[in-house]
Every structure is written in C-alpha cells, then in structure tokens.
Amino acid sequence: MIVKWRSFLYSFLITFLFAILGGIVTYIGMPRFESAVQPPFSPPAYLFPIVWSILFLLMSIGAAIIYDSDNEASSKALFIYTVQLTLNFWWCVLFFGFRLYFISFIWLLILILTVFVMTVLFYRINRLAGILQIFYIIWMLFAAYLNFGIWFLNR
C-alpha cells in the first residue's frame, strides 16, 4: 500500500507537534535528569533524540496507512493513536518536568499498554502499520527499565 502524501503530511505534522512539545519539556528538565544516578545500560543522552525521531517517523507512517485505509475500525485505531501521543507527552511532563519518577513509571506502564492496543488495532487493519509500531513497543519497554532504574537509584 502506498501512503498518500497528504495523509502522511498530516500524520507527520500532528505526531511531530507532540514530539516537539515533549522535546521542549525534556530539554528544560535535562540538566536535572543528567545529574541523576543512571541505571546500567543507559544510553548516552545524544542517542535519545535520534531514536525518538525515527520512532515518531515510523508512527507517522503507520498512522497515515491507517488513515488511508477503508477499514471501519480505523477511526478507533487513530483515536487510540492520539491517546498514546497525549500520554507520551504527559509522561515527559511527569518525568522531566516534575521529576516524579515513580508516578511517571506507572504512567509509562499505562502508555505501554495503550501502545500495545494501538499496535494490535493497526495490525488488524494493515500488517505493515502494525509491524512499524513494534520498534516503539521495544523502546518503551527499555524506557520502562530506565525509568524504574532512575526512580530506584534516586529515591
């Protein structure tokens, strides 16, 4: 399936609007985060924007594929997509803005569940759209490890 350029553009703009807003909160809170004790296997800080940019691009492609589908479940899938983008933004606020590491960990578990539901919905509508989200789930599981580790090591 070829994604229509307008669908991709809209999906990209909406997704990256959330990414930019989350990035601003992250950037503001980064100095305090970098001074926290990090768990083993924590990647260098410069890697996060690279990984997130790739993930947001893959999310945008998946959402555009779903938007262009004629499946009646696409509106539900895109609603869950928007919910997870919103949850993702608020995780940044909780974690980087307020340094509520344990609450942000619980929030992240809810986000992971939401992303999993979204991925299943995407996959049922279009396999490629669902497969593109698997990288996001893997990264979110790693983020949960990091989040928990930061909470545990800095309480």
CATH number at residue 82: 1.20.1260.100
The tally of domains found in the chain comes to: 1
Structural domain harbouring 67: 5-35+44-153
Residues 105/145, Cβ–Cβ less than 8 Å: no
Q: According to the model, what pLDDT value does residue 1 have?
A: 59
Q: According to the model, what pLDDT value does residue 4 have?
A: 85
Q: According to the model, what pLDDT value does residue 34 have?
A: 87
pLDDT in tens, 118-141: 999 999 999 999 999 999 999 999
Alpha-carbon distance of 49 to 62, in angstroms, equals: 20
pLDDT in tens, 24-82: 999 999 888 889 999 999 999 899 999 999 999 999 999 999 999 999 999 999 999 99
